[in-house]
Amino acid sequence: MTWIDTAAINVGQRHLSGADRLVTLITPAHGRMRAVARGVCLPRGPLGGALEPFGVCRVVLAPGRGDGLYRVEAADRVRDLPALRADLPSMLGAGLVCAWAGALGREGDGRVLYRLLHHTLVGLARPADAVAPVVARFLWRLTLVAGVAPELGCCVACRTPGDLTGFRMLPGGMVCALCRADGDLAMPPRGHAALCAAALEDGAWRSLAPDSARRLAALAQGYLRRHFGADLPRRAP
């Protein structure tokens, strides 16, 4: 383990003792990292305010004691998003996307997840953007980052492109009327169009109605849990 100077987003923290916290970070080059932040809760401490939850910062990490943990030596706030803490729906949305990023993030190249998370947090901080569509887009794009993106263009069972009427959690994707089985979710054309809007990178997600976006976000979380574990997202480790 070597010293690392990197951009980072704080996606979770756990109390250790006193003002010390164990923080979980999503970084571009190293993916998910865990580090001990000494005195992070002290207002006048060297790290005070720089490692706020959901905050975009730059950190210098030193190797720990051989337990896989790093130690935060320095931290500077790069981008403050006060709206995420001033507006309850935005704060809850930020907490949800950070929890999922922390749960599914892995060590190694994390550029795609970092960019997705950064873009999402900035979107949640904009008063003009409804929270639900931003969260729904993040969760369905996360399925792609995590390698379990559903098949939306044709039946996942027979590969037929038309008459798609249901959604199958495993292996993941739309099913046609002939292949639809017990346990598959009904997915009318309007729902299919909304799902494509949330999952595909074409900007159509911005037009999602809040109620539709909330249903899509709930479906995405159920989908991710079927693929990665029913108890996700767990508390940040």
Q: Indicate if the pLDDT at residue 90 is higher than 70.
A: yes
Whether the ω angle into residue 171 lies within 30 degrees of 0, i.e. cis, is: yes
pLDDT > 70 in the chain, percent: 94
pLDDT tier for residue 237 given thresholds of 50, 70 and 90: very low
Q: Which of 43-47, 65-69, 134-138, 139-143 has the lowest mean pLDDT?
A: 43-47
Q: Indicate if the pLDDT at residue 181 is higher than 90.
A: yes
d(C-alpha 197, C-alpha 71), whole Å: 41
pTM of the shown model:
0.92
How much is the mean pLDDT over the chain? Answer: 90
Mean pLDDT in residue range 101-109 = 95
Q: Which residues pair with 6 in a beta bridge?
A: 59
Look at residue 45 in the predicted model and tell me its pLDDT: 67
* Residue 121 token pair: 């947090």
Spell out the residues 6+ positions from residue 159 whose beta carbon is closer than 8 angstroms to its own.
none
Look at residue 1 in the predicted model and tell me its pLDDT: 64
Q: Indicate if the pLDDT at residue 44 is higher than 70.
A: no
Nearest alpha carbon to residue 105 among 51, 14, 97: 97
Nearest alpha carbon to residue 125 among 77, 217, 56, 47: 56
Main-chain phi, psi angles of 217, to 5 degrees: -65, -40
Condensed to tens digits (0 to 9), the pLDDT of residues 56-86 reads 999 999 998 767 799 999 999 888 888 888 8
DSSP 198: H
Q: Indicate if the pLDDT at residue 39 is higher than 90.
A: no
**Domains, the chain, with CATH or none:** 4-79 (2.40.50.140), 83-228 (1.20.1440.120)
pLDDT tier for residue 236 given thresholds of 50, 70 and 90: very low
143 contacts 156 by C-beta, under 8 angstroms? no
Q: Which among 35-44, 52-61, 161-170 has the top mean pLDDT?
A: 161-170
Look at residue 234 in the predicted model and tell me its pLDDT: 63
> Residues, the chain, total?
237
Look at residue 159 in the predicted model and tell me its pLDDT: 97
Q: H-type helices in 64-207, by residue range?
A: 83-86, 88-104, 111-124, 131-145, 189-199
Q: Indicate if the pLDDT at residue 46 is higher than 60.
A: yes
